[in-house]
């Protein structure tokens, strides 16, 4: 039996977020420059997008370039921008063919104009697709996102459009870059580091976390499916007891009969 046959089709995570880590270390391990790792990482993006779409995941968010990455050597930053744009342009016809809609979140105003405009064109070309939503977190960090949300709410409050006493978690979520997406059910991080690296900190409050030592260029479709199987073996309690979760599931199933 293949791994895909082990997947419970009734418990597919709606949203999977991934920290794609290890490109540089993988390249060094193989005696190459960091750019070689990034190039091979693009191949992994294509493969994971394909399998995510195949099993019915609704949203796939990839940590593509963080705001902290702007501190890397200028030559590497320039290379990464070109790589992302070129790869997305190359893949756009297949995204359309496979009904995948492209979007992006982040402080894109910091991106070079050529990169932002070319990516926006690809986003526009896939806007009518109704399958998997592939979200690129570009020039993104969770603290930047939360600060921006606070600024927007403060402006609305000053303009009399928002009562500060009415601000709750739903109002905050409505001001985040991910307001049009559900929170991730599962967060995957490759390459062995056990940290969140300023990624979707608000949204992953109740996400299941999956860490693997596998470097991103070596992360296969089977590795992704293993993460899904592992996720499906967990009990998501959201602060409740196991008994409460079981009772809630029974009530839900009876309503669907």
Annotated catalytic sites, by residue?
Answer: 21, 69
Q: Token match 């199987």: residue? A: 229
Q: Which residues of 202-226 are buried (b: 16+ CB within 10 A; e: fewer)?
A: ebbeebbebbbebbbbbbebebbbb
Give the separation between CA 79 and CA 85, rounded to whole angstroms: 10
Give the separation between CA 250 and CA 83, rounded to whole angstroms: 49
Q: Token match 């991910």: residue? A: 178
Query: Exposed, middle or buried, 177 (CB in 10 Å: 0-12/13-18/19+)?
Result: buried
């Amino acid at each position: 039996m293949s791994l895909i046959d082990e997947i419970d089709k009734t418990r597919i995570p709606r949203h999977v977020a991934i920290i794609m880590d290890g490109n540089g270390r993988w390249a060094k391990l193989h005696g190459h420059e960091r750019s070689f790792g990034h190039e091979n990482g693009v191949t992994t993006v294509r493969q994971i997008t394909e399998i995510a779409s195949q099993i019915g995941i609704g949203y796939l968010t990839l940590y593509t370039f963080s705001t902290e990455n702007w501190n890397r050597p200028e030559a590497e930053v320039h290379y990464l921008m070109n790589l992302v744009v070129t790869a997305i342009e190359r893949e756009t016809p297949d995204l359309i063919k496979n009904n995948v809609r492209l979007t992006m979140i982040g402080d894109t105003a910091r991106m070079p104009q050529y990169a932002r405009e070319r990516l926006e064109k690809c986003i526009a070309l896939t806007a009518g697709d109704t399958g998997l939503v592939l979200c690129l977190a570009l020039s993104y960090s969770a603290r930047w996102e939360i600060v921006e949300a606070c600024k927007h709410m403060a402006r609305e409050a000053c303009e009399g459009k928002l009562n500060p006493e009415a601000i709750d978690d739903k109002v905050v979520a409505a001001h985040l870059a991910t307001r049009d997406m559900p929170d991730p059910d599962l967060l995957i991080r490759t390459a062995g580091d056990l940290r969140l690296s300023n990624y979707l900190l608000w949204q992953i409050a109740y996400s299941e976390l999956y860490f693997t030592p596998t470097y991103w260029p070596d992360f296969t479709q089977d590795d992704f499916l293993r993460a899904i199987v592992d996720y499906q073996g967990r009990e998501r309690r959201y602060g409740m007891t196991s008994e409460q979760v079981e009772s809630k599931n029974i009530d839900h199933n009876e309503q669907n009969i």
